[in-house]
Structure 1
Amino acid sequence: MPFFDAFTQDVAVDLGCSTVRVYVRGKGLVAVEPNLVAARKSGPNCGEVLSVGVEAAHMIGRTPQEVAVVRPVRGGAIADLDCMEAMLRHLAHETGFLGRLRRPRLTIPVPLDLSSVERRAVQECGKQIGAREVRMVPKVVAAAIGLGLSEERPQGHFILDIGGGTTEAAVVSISGVVTSRTLRLGGTSLNDALVNFVRRKFNLLIGDETAERLKLILGSAYPSDLSRKLEIRGRDLISGVPKAVEIGSEETREALEESVSEIVAVVCELLENTPPEVASDIFSQGLVLIGGGSLLGQLDLRLREATGLLAVRADDGTNTVVMGAGRILEDPEGYSGLFSA
């Protein structure tokens, strides 16, 4: 073993818009935390960091005016380098993958359409926390490995990854990505749609936590005969006092429809541009759904109606990407051709 390897730890970090996940070689998945940083406002940059992760999540909607809770990653790219660095340092401390003599080698899954500037931001963030090396791998390829698809005979597989900030639809085979489409829209966009709908219809301002709860309980991508209602609370925009209203499942579906339609359109567009031989494989196997956004109610039925294909949610689909990146760490020689700087 080379001398420096004794002080190097291989770590995979999935920098999601909503959640950061950390996998350490030989240990497995060691951390899953909200990708949030609470900091004092300092112009466009991250100011004094007050809390990160779970603690920052508890501060949403409860901070003084001079404090903001920031999402360091937006649309699949690092939007605030300083806050992302603070988040990674916290995770490094919590999991012990960084120390005076221990400089990790980071593997970071990234969207396929990340620009060169956005890639440099990923590199810079890793270097700032003291990483010896930062390697990137396409998220959809890591997902395919996490699903075990790469171990099967050469076939095409359709993966739909709906994360917090992006939706990636890709056809992947044993040789790599055949074709793909990326949409800068994800679970946080669905929450924003609910916040805006409630504001317009009820003159009520609700927080992200309430929108997330509404999405999980009543959110649906497909009409249903079953009508349900949920009481939500917020601030009345006219009187300025707290108020509660009831919202129904059909209203919730209506609020999400525009975003859901965009996702369905991307899937249909990709299928139309898939080579015939691979299309035959997909017809036999259907679509595999991963990511937190894929948990939206009845999304599988909506996709089945739009495409005529079976749509199946993967087991543990929220961790598929980081577990795939972890498998790459456990067999670096076998997957050496996947990395990019």
Structure 2
Amino acid sequence: MAELESAPTLQRTRHGRVALDLGTAHTRALTSSGVAVADRPSAVVASRSIAGVADPVRPIRHGMVADPGACLRLVRLVLRDVQTAGDGSMEQVVVGVPVAASPSDRRAVRTAVSEAAGCGVTLVEEPLAAAVGVGLDVTDSRPFLLLDVGAGIVEVVAIRDGVISEAMAIQLGATTNAGLLPYVLDAVVDMTAVLLRRLPPQVRTAVRGNGLTVTGGGALQARLLHRLDAALRIPVSTPPEPQNATVRGLMRLCLMPALASRIAARGR
């Protein structure tokens, strides 16, 4: 789908909720009706070179907003896709952010989405959304471990009582069509093992019993799953279509505003 340097102004009549996953490689959106309305590369056209070739700009790097102006254009394009799909008005957008996002990173996301949508914005940390998307009870007092492997950032978290109690992250400089580069794969496995070891003994025992859930596009890499299983010696599972876990969870939270408010991401 061709991007334009400027997207048309959105109409402001409201009746729907939108889930928005701003990924480093892909941006996905769902409406509260469950209809897929957008799945586009996270890139916009900034300018044209002397030869007349459009120069793409990627506004999201390591899961964070690197170019606020380009991010605003990207969000407008995605929300235009929402209108094209028939849900042309919005009353709330629930959008994911990495756990590692700083307060300024979170403000950049909120500002871009709020300006583009003209409605309320709720931020939810992406591993929490991914957990909701695969059907895990994030409010359960029994802790569990989730590894979210994106194209720009990998985060491993322990979740309990609706909050992330422990988290570690690796920002990725490069990925390939075959998945994580070997040295990055090693680092992800090591990071997950370190987080597991640093949990309090009673929490670690409970987490081992519940196993590890792997989400994100990297969960499709069989070698990663095999290495995690061998290194951690706990059950390792991945859901169907793990690359869509976050946006599915954000969409479910659109339908559960009380839960979304409870686990909404706060500035850190």
> TM-score, normalization: structure 1?
0.68
**CA offsets 1:290-319 (integer angstroms, 9 cap, x no match):** 101222231111112221222222222111
Tell me what 1:252 maps to. none
Secondary structure of 2:141's partner?
coil
- The answer to whether the aligner puts 1:36 opposite 2:51 as a matched pair is no
Secondary structure of 1:12's partner?
strand
Which aligned runs of 4 or more in structure 1 are off by greater than 3 angstroms? 63-67, 101-104, 151-154
Partners of 1:259 and 1:340 in 2: CA distance: 27
Compute the displacement of 1:323 (Å).
0.8
Pair 26,66 (structure 1): closer, same or farther in 2 beyond 3 Å: closer
Cα pair 2:162 2:263 within 8 Å, conserved: no
Of residues 187, 202, 207, the one that matches 1:262 is 187
**CA offsets 1:98-147 (integer angstroms, 9 cap, x no match):** 99x94542111111121111111112211321422222011111111112
Compute the displacement of 1:65 (Å).
7.9
Letter in 2 for 1:305: A
Cα pair 2:43 2:59 within 8 Å, conserved: yes
Secondary structure of 2:248's partner?
helix
Compute the displacement of 1:156 (Å).
1.4
- The answer to whether the aligner puts 1:289 opposite 2:214 as a matched pair is yes
Partners of 1:290 and 1:12 in 2: CA distance: 17
Cα pair 2:13 2:90 within 8 Å, conserved: no
Tell me the matched-pair count: 254
Pair 125,97 (structure 1): closer, same or farther in 2 beyond 3 Å: farther
Tell me what 1:89 maps to. 76
Pair 275,292 (structure 1): closer, same or farther in 2 beyond 3 Å: same
Identity %: 26
Letter in 1 for 2:22: L
- The answer to whether the aligner puts 1:313 opposite 2:238 as a matched pair is yes
Secondary structure of 2:56's partner?
strand
Cα pair 1:159 1:169 within 8 Å, conserved: yes
**CA offsets 1:130-171 (integer angstroms, 9 cap, x no match):** 422222011111111112111785321110000011001001
Partners of 1:160 and 1:340 in 2: CA distance: 18
Partners of 2:139 and 2:16 in 1: CA distance: 30
Cα pair 2:44 2:70 within 8 Å, conserved: yes
Pair 9,284 (structure 1): closer, same or farther in 2 beyond 3 Å: same
- The answer to whether the aligner puts 1:190 opposite 2:115 as a matched pair is no
**CA offsets 1:212-261 (integer angstroms, 9 cap, x no match):** 2xx1xxx6x8xxxxxxxxxxxxxxxxxxxxxxxxxxxxxxxxxx221111
**Which has more radius of gyration?**
1
Of residues 196, 205, 209, the one that matches 1:271 is 196
Alignment of 1:150-229 (within 5 A): 150=137, 154-185=141-172, 189-191=174-176, 212=177, 215=178
Pair 94,170 (structure 1): closer, same or farther in 2 beyond 3 Å: same
Of residues 6, 11, 18, the one that matches 2:18 is 11
RMSD, matched Cα: 2.7
| Greater length-normalized contact order (CA 8 Å, ≥ 6 residues apart) | 2
Secondary structure of 2:122's partner?
strand
Identify unmatched segments of 5+ residues in structure 1: 43-62, 192-211, 222-255
Partners of 1:85 and 1:91 in 2: CA distance: 10
Compute the displacement of 1:266 (Å).
0.9
Cα pair 1:26 1:330 within 8 Å, conserved: no
Partners of 1:26 and 1:103 in 2: CA distance: 12
Partners of 1:159 and 1:153 in 2: CA distance: 14
Secondary structure of 1:150's partner?
coil
- The answer to whether the aligner puts 1:79 opposite 2:76 as a matched pair is no
Pair 134,152 (structure 1): closer, same or farther in 2 beyond 3 Å: closer
